[in-house]
Amino acid sequence: MLIRAMLSQCAQNYPRKAAYLCGARSVTWSELDARSSRLAAVLHEEGIVAGEAVGILALETIEVYEHLYACAKLGAVRVSLNWRFSAPELTHILHDARLRLLFVQAELLAQAQQIQEQLKSAGVRVIVFGTSAVVSPYEERMAGVTGRAEHMEWPELEPEHPLLYSYTSGTTGRPKGAIISNTAAAHAVLSGVIGRGFTHDDIYYVSAQSAWIVVMMTMFGLANGMTHAIPDGAFEIHACLRDIERLKVTAVLWVPTMIKRAIHASRDFSYDLSSLRVIMYGSSPASAELVRDAYATFGCELTQTYGMTETCGGVTHLSPADHRRAIAADETLLSSVGRPSTLFSLSLRSDEGVPVAPGEPGEIWIRGKPLMTGYLNLAEENAAVFDGDWFRTNDIGRIDDDGYLFLIGRRQFQINTGAVKVYPTAVEEVLSGHPSVAEVCVLGAQHPEWGEAVVALIEPAKADCSAADLLAYCATRMSKAACPKAFLLRSPLDRTATGKVDRRAASDWLSRNVHLLPWKLQPEDHL
């Protein structure tokens, strides 16, 4: 199954239906098909052949999808460089992916100029697009190949041919390129539409950046001709709410932090959000208080997804019915990420790779059609994370008697305090429910008595956020060993290019601020 064939079918079936809405701009499925063909012809003119990597550095804009589908038609591999990445990270990606050509939005020329010497030395050509573009005008190039593009024959491709290299956010190390094949992407699209119950009439607003694997969620229309709405540039909550009102958006993708911001913004301003039928969220669970507030504010359903770059997005879903049941009778269900979709199988394994007993914690292994082919140029790591057709996530979880998956934490992040193992995710989930906490990152810090101690870095939501209140809150909700021994305020917490809290940056900050901890280490001790 090839993505270019799915686009062609959409253009035939729904030629006048809007495919993407972005600010005042829109493009229909037939227009998108034609324009991506013209851009593929431009790539061909530039000497690009199947299997070569073509990058793009852009904010959210319709050209992102013209570029994606142009690569799909020619068999080039799409590589998106996140505009939030640092110059060293961008340099790593251009060398790792062996970029041949890079499209740069005019608004991001300053970011591209940070690596212009590296681009030049690597022989990467640059095409600029956007309102202020003055070099290699995008539209002129497209217009110049209009007649030829209509008659081009695309190369033969196998379903396993790479569609894109999706780079991880680098939370704990430098970004890794996950190789996503056409067939993996196609199955991810089908799984997403089926699992979330999308219809042809939906207008789906995806708030997250398409530079990472969330781009899969902006391709769901390939399955049913639905319309996607995207931010016009970087995400901003009031702009998002205005778009929902103006475009009559029916479904929106947020993370819990965005839900909180939307609730506060809706209280301060009057928006007509009655078109919304469902809020979809991921990245972390939502507290019962947040879910209740969302119900009261928006009057729509909620659903949660757990997934990752390596799985092309969502693996499990906590359905709208699950959310309603949780609020009515069992709030602990909100700590679950739901049950696997029909295209995935889960298995919890011990350190030795043996299935654990029901209800026992184990590493989450995943098998399914939407899995990545592997990491680019990382043979040893591929050997470590794949066991046959099973992918080892490094996430620890447990499955209850009803088949719901509960995440416990990442294997390498566990904190050994005394003789007790504490997973930061569990502590973060509790603290996220406190009204004075906007964001939290839990780390382990060396302690003279306990070996390690739990430390919580807090981005406060309120000025009166105090360590005493937070400790009292935790004391009734978790074991004594799991309760943080220190609460440090940091506003804002560093974030990765994908918007997640940057655990590596947080750890670096803590190592430079040992003096803030309420205990003393010996001179030879280090975090």
Tens of pLDDT, residue by residue over 77-92, are: 999 998 888 899 899 9
Q: What share of the chain is helix, strand, coil (3-state, %, to 5)?
A: 35, 25, 35
pLDDT higher for 139 or 186?
Answer: 186
**C-alpha–C-alpha distance, residues 323 and 320, integer Å:** 5
Q: What pLDDT, on a 0 to 100 scale, did the predictor assign at position 56?
A: 98
Residue 193 lies in a domain: no
The model's pTM: 0.84
Q: What is the CATH number of the domain that holds 58?
A: 3.40.50.980
Do residues 73 and 33 share a domain?
A: yes
Residue 7 lies in a domain: yes
Residue 189 lies in a domain: no
DSSP letter assigned to residue 101: E
Do residues 421 and 396 share a domain?
A: no
Residue 109 lies in a domain: yes
CA distances from residue 32 to 17, 19, 62, 64, 218 in whole angstroms, order as listed: 11, 8, 9, 11, 14
Do residues 15 and 155 share a domain?
A: yes
**C-alpha–C-alpha distance, residues 53 and 163, integer Å:** 10
Task: Write down which residue in 378, 410, 442 finishes a domain.
Answer: 410
pLDDT higher for 330 or 426?
Answer: 330
**C-alpha–C-alpha distance, residues 32 and 201, integer Å:** 19
Do residues 146 and 244 share a domain?
A: no
At residue 57, does pLDDT exceed 70?
A: yes
Supply angle C-alpha 46, 165, 73, rounded to 5.
Answer: 45
- Residue 498 identity (one-letter amino acid): T
pLDDT higher for 409 or 428?
Answer: 428
Task: Give Cα 232 distance to the centre of its chain.
Answer: 18
Residue 119 lies in a domain: yes
CA distances from residue 407 to 252, 362, 385, 425, 442 in whole angstroms, order as listed: 24, 10, 19, 8, 15
> Who contacts 55 (Cβ-Cβ below 8 Å, separation ≥6)?
79, 80, 81, 93, 94, 97, 99, 101, 102, 103, 124
Residues listed for the chain? 527
Tokens, residue 282: 């991921």
Q: What pLDDT, on a 0 to 100 scale, did the predictor assign at position 523?
A: 40
**HSE-up of 453 (CA within 13 Å, CB side)?**
19
Do residues 276 and 145 share a domain?
A: no
Containing structural domain, residue 448: 414-516
Q: What pLDDT, on a 0 to 100 scale, did the predictor assign at position 136?
A: 52
Q: What is the CATH number of the domain that holds 291?
A: 3.40.50.12780
At residue 35, does pLDDT exceed 90?
A: yes
**C-alpha–C-alpha distance, residues 310 and 386, integer Å:** 11
> Who contacts 515 (Cβ-Cβ below 8 Å, separation ≥6)?
none
**C-alpha–C-alpha distance, residues 350 and 367, integer Å:** 17
Identify the band that residue 425 occupies on the pLDDT scale cut at 50, 70 and 90: confident
Do residues 133 and 265 share a domain?
A: no
At residue 18, does pLDDT exceed 90?
A: yes
> How much is the average pLDDT of 435-458?
90
DSSP letter assigned to residue 494: P
Task: Write down which residue in 410, 439, 470 finishes a domain.
Answer: 410
**C-alpha–C-alpha distance, residues 175 and 385, integer Å:** 16
Residue 527 lies in a domain: no
Split into its structural domains, the chain has a count of 3
Q: What pLDDT, on a 0 to 100 scale, did the predictor assign at position 522?
A: 47
Supply angle C-alpha 21, 25, 30, rounded to 5.
Answer: 70
Q: What is the mean pLDDT of the chain?
A: 92
Residue 213 lies in a domain: no
Do residues 485 and 431 share a domain?
A: yes
Q: What pLDDT, on a 0 to 100 scale, did the predictor assign at position 521?
A: 53
Identify the band that residue 524 occupies on the pLDDT scale cut at 50, 70 and 90: very low
Do residues 259 and 129 share a domain?
A: no
Task: Write down which residue in 391, 410, 429 finishes a domain.
Answer: 410
Do residues 436 and 372 share a domain?
A: no
Do residues 48 and 113 share a domain?
A: yes
Residue 481 lies in a domain: yes
Percent of the chain with pLDDT over 70: 96
Do residues 8 and 107 share a domain?
A: yes
Q: What pLDDT, on a 0 to 100 scale, did the predictor assign at position 526?
A: 38
Q: What is the CATH number of the domain that holds 512?
A: 3.30.300.30
Percent of the chain with pLDDT over 90: 72
Do residues 314 and 348 share a domain?
A: yes
> How much is the average pLDDT of 97-116?
95
